[in-house]
Amino acid sequence: MSENCPEGRSKRQKIEDSSKYSIEVSNNQPNVAYEDSGIKLTTVEALPASENIDCVSLSSILSSENLIEMVQFNYMVELEFLMTNLPKSKQKIIPTTIVHGLSGESEKYLKVKLNRTHHTKAMLLFYANSTMRLIIHTANAIRRDWANKTQGVYMSPFLLKKRNIASSSEFESDFMEYLESYGDKLNIIRNKVKEYDFSTIKAILIASIPGYHVNEKLELFGHMRLRNILSRVTVPLSCKLDSTIICQFSSIGSLGKDEKWLIEEFAESLKYAKNQNQCSEPDIKLVYPTVENVSNSLEGWAAGNSLPFDHKNYLKQKHYMQKYLHKWKAIEAGRERAMPHIKTYSRMTMIPNSNNDNNLESKSSAEIAWLLLTSSNLSKAAWGALQKKDKQLMIRSYELGILTFPELFQNDEYTSVHMLNSTPQNLKPLLPSFNSPSKSTSSKKRNRPEEKNTLIIPIRLPYDLPLTPYNFKDGDECWTWNIPRTETDCLGLKKF
């Protein structure tokens, strides 16, 4: 149909609108708008709807009748479970490529088997209206990962086909380089992806590719890639003097018998900023479940099977890790008993609630300088370890993540852009100056700098703020998965 006719223009307009992040003007503050970051938590089946607000399920991601092809990147795949989350009309006919780390169950679908650890979790979804969507997430394609665990998903806008096939964006270049690491097996997929325009994505790709990375490739992957990108990110004014770097994950690898890699290498990368010389030293905090967290979870001890921290590694590392460890606490976040398989790394500053009479407000909110949602756990295998006097980065596994920060959303329409954490009770957070009762006239209100066309990017963090440190004196114990638990869990079961 011609785009010159009214119906043709209408269809084109509808597609173009879906290719952008949604922006919503605040009902209470006309000079404040909200833009979707694309980052969501997944629904938890055992929780009420009130805790699953603004969340997504696997079936909702794959629900479109217009879906005509998909590529699934993952570590573990239960093929029947994956396909039953498609619309019934698509379950037996949709062309599917599965790039995976473990053997599959059927030869009906094309698979790309790799010899390296493939921990990446992502999807390419192609639609009949010539659009495509990139999904980067944290869940294996297995039933238990999408049922009662805390997981995260990044959903790109619907990407249109390019008008000029030769054009490219930074995101596309990074993603194509990642796809090229799979070799010729994905040539057809890679050529198809090249047809789409990634310029509407307001995020940065952070990938890990197995191998030894040197010279110009030293800063292309792993934590050195994150270091390189963060050196271009300006830490907001509120985060410059008092900020915290929070690393939240579902497993801890063999980090060494001292904190050299954790603090002097990995955390050093997370401290980088464009205005680093103006920033105070940020605190480093690690969020990982205790034994009690797992025992009281929705799955009981079984949840610990997805938290594979080796007990021998913990014994070697606890003497320096304990001072950084914080419990899994997520009451306000609505995920207290849903154990985390999500991995997030973020720099933020806490904003204590000054309006104690407002029950909608959290005990503490935060302004986020940047946030990374990724498949990478806290390990050298995922993030890489520097070798040969810091001239070489060695990575053991495929990983994929998405980094977002306020500057990516900046445009001429907004005086300021802020990324704030949200909760199920407060999905549209405001800056502290908006939350305080007004004693001024409307003319004075207009002089508030925050009210001059402010854009807020809410992100629903999976955990509560402020964080709660481990209390080892009172018996808190870091979860490790490979020792017996003779006490019964909340379901009345023991772990042997």
Asked whether the predicted pLDDT for residue 360 surpasses 60, the reply is no
Q: How confident is the model at residue 431 (pLDDT cuts 50, 70, 90)?
A: confident
Measured on CA atoms in the order 130, 134, 140, 143, is the torsion positive or negative?
negative
Question: Order of strands, edge to edge, in the sheet holding 392-395?
Answer: 211-214, 392-395, 385-387
- The model's pLDDT over 62-74, given as tens digits with 9 standing for 90+, comes to 999 999 999 999 9
Please give the average per-residue pLDDT across 445-473, as a whole number: 83
pTM assigned to the model: 0.91
Q: How confident is the model at residue 153 (pLDDT cuts 50, 70, 90)?
A: very high
Least confident of 20-24, 220-224, 318-322: 20-24
Model pLDDT, residue 89: 92
The answer to whether 341 is a known catalytic residue is yes
Q: Which two tokens stand for residue 381?
A: 């295998």
486 within 8 A of 292, measured Cβ to Cβ: no
Please give the average per-residue pLDDT across 443-463, as a whole number: 72
The mean pLDDT value of the chain amounts to 89
Model pLDDT, residue 165: 81
43 within 8 A of 55, measured Cβ to Cβ: yes
369: left (phi over 0), alpha (psi -120 to 50) or beta: alpha
Q: How confident is the model at residue 185 (pLDDT cuts 50, 70, 90)?
A: confident
Asked whether the predicted pLDDT for residue 50 surpasses 90, the reply is yes
- The model's pLDDT over 200-257, given as tens digits with 9 standing for 90+, comes to 999 999 999 999 999 999 999 999 999 999 999 999 988 888 999 999 999 999 999 9
Asked whether the predicted pLDDT for residue 284 surpasses 90, the reply is yes
Asked whether the predicted pLDDT for residue 480 surpasses 50, the reply is yes
Asked whether the predicted pLDDT for residue 144 surpasses 50, the reply is yes
143 vs 124: CA distance, rounded Å: 20
* pLDDT above 70: percentage of residues in the chain: 87
Q: Which CATH architecture has domain 13-433+443-474?
A: 2-Layer Sandwich (3.30)
Q: Which two tokens stand for residue 69?
A: 């092809």
363 within 8 A of 465, measured Cβ to Cβ: yes
The full set of domain ranges for the chain reads 13-433+443-474
Query: From the CB of residue 105, how many other CB atoms can be counted at a distance below 10 Å?
Result: 12
Q: Does 495 count as an annotated binding residue?
A: no
- The model's pLDDT over 285-316, given as tens digits with 9 standing for 90+, comes to 999 999 999 999 999 999 999 999 999 999 99
Which residue among the candidates 100, 326, 341, 418 is catalytic per the annotation?
341
Q: Which two tokens stand for residue 360?
A: 């909608």
Of residues 361 and 7, more confidence is placed in 361
Q: Does 88 count as an annotated binding residue?
A: no
419 vs 236: CA distance, rounded Å: 10
- The model's pLDDT over 266-278, given as tens digits with 9 standing for 90+, comes to 999 999 999 999 9
Asked whether the predicted pLDDT for residue 443 surpasses 60, the reply is no
- The model's pLDDT over 374-421, given as tens digits with 9 standing for 90+, comes to 999 999 999 999 999 999 999 999 999 999 999 999 998 999 999 999
Q: Which two tokens stand for residue 225?
A: 């890639």
Model pLDDT, residue 26: 75
The answer to whether 137 is a known catalytic residue is no
450 vs 484: CA distance, rounded Å: 54
Which residue among the candidates 100, 118, 119, 418 is catalytic per the annotation?
119
Contacts of 364 (CB under 8 A, 6+ apart): 350, 351, 352, 353, 465, 466
Q: How confident is the model at residue 355 (pLDDT cuts 50, 70, 90)?
A: low
Of 346, 347, 328, 349, residue with least CA distance to 338: 328
